[in-house]
Amino acid sequence: MSDPVSASAIPDRTTPLVAVRDLSVSFVSRDETVRAVNGVSFDVMPGEALCIIGESGSGKTVTMRSLMRLLPKHRSVIEGGISVAGNDIQALDERRLSQLRGSLMAMIFQEPMTALDPVYTIGEQIAEVVRRHTHATRPAAMARALELLQLVKVPSPERRLKAYPHELSGGMRQRAMIAIALACQPALLLADEPTTALDATVQIQVLILLRKLQKEFGMALIFVTHDLSVAAQIADRVAVMYAGRMVEQGSVREVLLNPRHPYTIGMLSSTLHGRVRGQDIETIPGSPPDLRALPPGCSFAPRCSRAIESCSAAVPAPIVLSPGHDVRCIRTQDQPAPFSPASTLAVS
Amino acid sequence: MYLALLLRETYRTSAGVVANPMWLYVIRRILLAAPIAIGVTVICFALIYLAPGDPIQSLLPPEATQADVAYLKQVYGFDKPLPVQYLKWVSRATVGDFGTSIQTNRPVLGEVRRALSHTLIISIGAALLAFPLAIALGTLAAFYIGRPPDRIATMASVVGISVPNYWLGIVLIIVFAVELGVLPASGMGPQGSDDFSLTQWAQLKYAVLPVLTTALVPLGIIMRSTRAAMADVLSQDFIQTLRAKGLGQGAVVRHALRNALPQVLAVMGLQFGYLVGGSILTETIFNWPGTGFLMNKAILTRDIPMLQGALLVLALSFVSINLAVDLLQTAVDPRVKRG
């Protein structure tokens, strides 16, 4: 086993840990091609938390899985460049890739009910990843598993070590999942809607825990969610995805307080936070485009109230509004949005 | 009273903690198997009387007098009412006395035991050959589902299930015994069935063709259920987690197999049960004096004690195999409620 890259091995905080360039993913079957991700580019600095926001089917999860090359090999076509800590993920051989998975980068999944192997104990599943990436003996790995369960604040960890997943609650399972992900102190943690399946009270606990551990370990975090208040809680930067494209990205403050893309604006105004009782919630008319037949130009144009003819001519290039805040909308310059819907969102 | 306690779902210890120890579960399952075993004895006994024909008639010459018939009926106990016959039969059976064969005049138990030991050579051999191979092929097919390796394995298993045993047996005899002359065509060897030795090739080679013939059907069936169970497990979310942990293909297979095992075990148990019952066709073709062979002979000669005894022994072994599989499943699958 070669050296597992840990967070401490990358002291340089000026070069991005993750660099994704023009990533496109399509799922090919005999009858159709589904274009799930269409030219996504972003960077994540070491220790930074990026939140990818978007509705179901916008390509958030697919983007995440391609970072770890977890998509089905023979059915997906991945184009573009993905680099994590200098490793070209696309070009790695299976052996090297599996060495990096779990040690350099780890992933937490949406459904804690199904993401753990039902016939192995929690302890066995944590110890397994420890043993995979270090030379730890079985008892040493189990001791480390206990430490990790304490770290993620699982009550009576000694007992949980011997428990099977079905004997734990959803929140506890997600904590165990986090323990597995953190076992080898990865430099990059990918979290795919890790709180969506949890009860509201448990959600906030898990979120706070994640944020705390991320700061403690100096991990970079990519957090996928469709919940804006979750994004406000955890993110340094936010990227908004729509129909497989990133329509707007910037610092959490910029994007939530000064959104410029019509889709971001629409999404923010359809949240419930701070609304006056009785006032109607604004919704975005229409529905997302069919990923098998994307409209030409801006994918949001058919639903956009500000769309003009040239919106459908070509995919808009990113317009840099301020360093780190860019928008893919050709109408941005024409009409600066006076809208500030998120003033009541708690932006940390 | 104590029985009722055992049969309860959970078990409260003196400390007030609800415990559910494995041994308690084992005892419960065994107790629950008892009514099934009793039912089996009733059916075994009754089944014989549903068939037409009289054993006494076939035993005596046509010119036998009425008194002769009555005497013989009395000797074998056929003159008593059926419930009495049943109770007598069961109470003797519990101490291992299944009566005497009408045809050979020897104790039924000894005959059945001998036949069973012969069949076990074939069935254990077939299981050792078929089960691991089926699991390997099924796993392979599940990994390449919908692609050439899966197509080939699935097609082969369909052929394996569909080919009639007796046809395959005859073809194997023609190829290996008649044409190539490398294996014997039938029987159990020069020393006969009584001291059949598994360690001597001169004897063991007589078992090769019957084992091959018998192994084919369970091979196909278990391969297909392994494929289905594994494909189901491999499509579950936690497989992604395993890959994301950096586990290699081997470790993923290990996890998936452990998940699929309870389902596969159930099918293997059933198949092994069928194998122990012996195959009338295969054993007749290869002239192998096993249980299928024995029962066939008993049916043709209306040897009622023999048939009842053989049926009962086989049915009870089927029940015990299922019980064993059940317990094994519970041992390997923590999700099964040990209630």
The per-residue DSSP string of B259-300 comes to: HHHHHHHHHHHHHHHHHHT--HHHHHHTT--SHHHHHHHHHH
A288 in the same domain as A230: no
Together in a domain, A309 and A200: no
pLDDT of residue A129: 93
Across the interface, of B147, B246, B335, the residue whose CB is closest to A99 is B246
Does A109 share its domain with A210? yes
User: Is B244 within 8 Å of A68 when comparing Cβ atoms?
Assistant: yes
Contacts of A109 in chain B (CB under 8 A): 237, 240-241, 244
Q: Are the beta carbons of A166 and B258 separated by less than 8 Å?
A: no
Which of A84-88, B9-13, B84-88, B172-176 shows the lowest per-residue confidence on average (mean pLDDT)?
B9-13
User: Which residue on chain B is closest to A189 by alpha carbon?
Assistant: B244
Read off the DSSP letter of residue A63.
Answer: H
Distance (Å, whole) CA A319 – CA A330:
8
Contact A119 B240 (CB under 8 A): no
Nearest by CB to residue A109, choosing from B241, B246, B247, is B241
> Is A268:A342 a contact under the CB 8 Å cutoff?
yes
Q: Please state the ipTM of this predicted complex.
A: 0.84
Q: Tell me which H or E stretch contains A108.
A: strand A105-108
Query: Could you tell me if residue A77 is inside a domain?
Result: yes
* B-proximal residues of A, 176-195, CB under 8 Å: 177, 180
Do A45 and A137 share a domain, yes or no? yes
Contacts of A106 in chain B (CB under 8 A): 244-245
Q: Please name the residues between 237 and 276 in chain A that touch chain B, using a CB distance below 8 Å.
A: none
Tell me: do A163 and A247 sit in the same domain: no
pLDDT for res B42: 86
Which of B230, B232, B237, B245 best tests the A interface by mutation, with the highest count of A CBs <10 A? B245
Contact of A126 with chain B, judged by CB distance below 8 Å, is answered with no
Please judge whether A116 and B241 are an interchain contact, meaning their C-beta atoms are less than 8 angstroms apart.
yes
Cα B258 vs. chain centroid, distance in angstroms? 24
**pLDDT tier, B44 (very low <50, low <70, confident <90, very high otherwise):** confident
Residue of B292, B129, B316, B320 whose CA lies nearest to B222:
B129
**How many whole angstroms separate alpha carbon B127 and alpha carbon B106?**
31
Closest-CA residue in chain A for B252? A117
- Domain parsing of chain B, residue ranges: 108-288
**Within 13 Å of residue A292, how many CA atoms lie on the same side as its CB?**
6
CATH number of the domain at A118, please.
3.40.50.300
Q: Residue A14 in contact with residue A61, Cβ under 8 Å?
A: no
Domain boundary among A214, A235, A256: A235
Pairing label, strands A325-327, B11-12: unpaired
The torsion defined by the Cα of B88, B92, B93 and B96, in degrees rounded to 10, comes to -170
Q: What band does B40 get if pLDDT is binned at 50, 70 and 90?
A: confident
Q: Alpha helix locations (H) across chain B?
A: 2-7, 22-50, 55-59, 66-76, 82-94, 108-143, 148-162, 165-172, 201-234, 237-244, 249-276, 280-285, 291-300, 304-332
Instruction: Write the residue in A107, A133, A164 that is nearest to B334 by C-beta.
Output: A164
What pLDDT band is residue B264 in, cutting at 50, 70 and 90? very high
Q: Which amino acid is at B8?
A: R
| Closest partner CB to A117 (pick from B238, B248, B333) | B238
Which of A16-20, B152-156, B196-200 has the least mean pLDDT? B196-200
Residue A284, C-beta contacts closer than 8 angstroms, at least 6 positions apart:
A263, A266, A267, A270, A303
Query: Are residues A171 and A264 located together in one domain of the fold?
Result: no
Residue A84 forms contact with B (CB below 8 Å):
no
* C-alpha span between A221 and A188 (Å, rounded): 6
User: What single-letter DSSP state applies at residue A308?
Assistant: -
pLDDT of residue B58: 66
Domain that holds residue A136: 17-235
Q: What is the pLDDT along chain A (348 residues), one digit of tens a residue?
A: 444 444 444 445 678 899 999 999 999 888 888 999 998 999 999 999 999 998 888 889 999 999 999 988 888 899 999 999 989 998 999 899 999 999 999 999 988 888 999 999 999 999 999 999 998 899 999 999 999 999 998 999 999 999 999 999 988 999 999 999 999 999 999 999 888 888 888 888 889 999 999 999 999 999 999 888 888 888 999 999 999 999 999 999 888 888 888 898 888 887 755 555 666 667 787 888 888 888 888 888 888 888 888 888 888 888 888 888 889 988 877 655 555 554 445 444
- The shortest C-alpha distance from A292 to chain B (Å) reads 23
- The secondary structure of residue A49, as a DSSP letter, is E
Say yes or no for a CB contact (<8 Å) between B246 and A180: no
- Whether A184 is covered by a domain: the verdict is yes
Taking one residue from A and the other from B, the number of pairs with CB-CB distance under 8 angstroms is 76
pLDDT cut 90: percent of chain B above it:
21
Residue B51 clears pLDDT 80, i.e. is over it: no
The verdict on A294 and A187 lying in the same domain is no
Q: Where does a domain end: A235, A251, A277? A: A235
A307 — contact with chain B (CB < 8 Å)? Answer: no
The count of domains in chain A is: 2
pLDDT at A10: 46
pLDDT band for position B55 (cuts 50, 70, 90): low
Check CB contact under 8 Å for A118 and B334: yes
Taking the C-alpha atoms of residue A327 and residue A22, their distance in angstroms, rounded to an integer, is 15
Give the mean pLDDT of chain B.
Answer: 82
Q: State the nearest Cα–Cα gap between A101 and chain B, in angstroms.
A: 4
**What pLDDT was estimated at residue B54?**
66
Measured between CA atoms, the residue of chain A closest to residue B237 is: A115
Contact B243 A100 (CB under 8 A): no
Mean predicted confidence (pLDDT) in B85-90: 84
Partner-chain contact A115 B258, CB within 8 Å:
no
CA of B333 to nearest chain A CA: how many angstroms apart?
A: 6
Q: Using an 8 Å CB-CB cutoff, list chain A residues near B245.
A: 101-102, 106, 128-129, 132, 180
Taking CB atoms and an 8 Å limit, are B238 and A119 in contact across chains? no
Q: How far is CA B16 from the centre of its chain?
A: 43
Q: Which amino acid is at B265?
A: L
| CA B119/CA B277 separation, integer angstroms | 8
Q: Judge if A115 and A198 occupy the same domain.
A: yes
Cα–Cα distance between B86 and B66 in angstroms, integer?
25
CB–CB of B244 and A116 under 8 A? no
Q: How far is CA A294 from the centre of its chain?
A: 23
Q: Does pLDDT of B210 surpass 60?
A: yes
Contact A74, A61 (CB under 8 A): no
Same domain, A226 and A321: no
Do A168 and A316 share a structural domain?
no
Q: Which residues pair with A97 in a beta bridge?
A: none
Is the CATH number of domain B108-288 1.10.3720.10?
yes
